[in-house]
Structure 1
Amino acid sequence: MLKKMHDLGLRAEHCYIAGMASIGISFVSWMLSNRFEHAGVDRADRWGIFVGEWAPTFFAMGNGLRTYER
């Protein structure tokens, strides 16, 4: 799988950037949900956690690609 991702042009740096971006997007989605949805803090927390769960996946993929690239 890592070979296929690498052959498609995906590099570890791309995954690390996506992981950092997902942390920022998690915060922004929580803030926007909290401000514009009238469902309360519970829904905002769910949005933030949902998007925040992407970061470890991207970092793990980046680590896998980094070891493959070496």
Structure 2
Amino acid sequence: MIVKFLYDKGLRSEHANNVACAAIGLSIASWFASRTVEGKGLDRADRWGIFVATWPATWFGLGQALSQYERTVISFGR
């Protein structure tokens, strides 16, 4: 089970949720940087922003799974 493995390695739900929040900022930053620095047009900047914007959902989902696992571990012990 991946969630148990990640929990045993020290990843907690709050870590995953913090990464998800950071990924939202990274999405905005990558869109802005692609738009201004690269100069390859708005379409490319939108693609970068959308690509990075898929990450927060994954991290929030992982945070939710870890949160449920943490409740199970605390309730029933190991």
How far 1:38 moved relative to its partner?
Answer: 2.0
Distance 2:40 2:32 in 1: 13
Distance 2:37 2:5 in 1: 41
Structure 1 residue ranges (4+ consecutive) displaced by more than 4 angstroms after TM superposition: none
Q: TM-score, normalised by structure 1?
A: 0.98
- In the alignment, what sits opposite 1:17? 18
Higher Cα Rg, which structure: 2
Percent of pairs identical after alignment? Answer: 49
- In the alignment, what sits opposite 1:68? 69
Q: Which runs of 5+ in 1 are unaligned?
A: none
How far 1:39 moved relative to its partner?
Answer: 1.1
- In the alignment, what sits opposite 1:43? 44
How far 1:61 moved relative to its partner?
Answer: 0.1
Q: TM-score, normalised by structure 2?
A: 0.88
Count of residues in correspondence between the two structures = 70
Distance 1:13 1:32 in 2: 28
- In the alignment, what sits opposite 2:9? 8
The letter of the residue matching 1:58 is W
When the two chains are superposed, the root-mean-square deviation of aligned CA atoms in Å is 0.5
**Residue-by-residue CA offset, 1:14-65 (whole Å, 9 max, x unaligned):** 0000000000000000001000112100000011011110000000000000
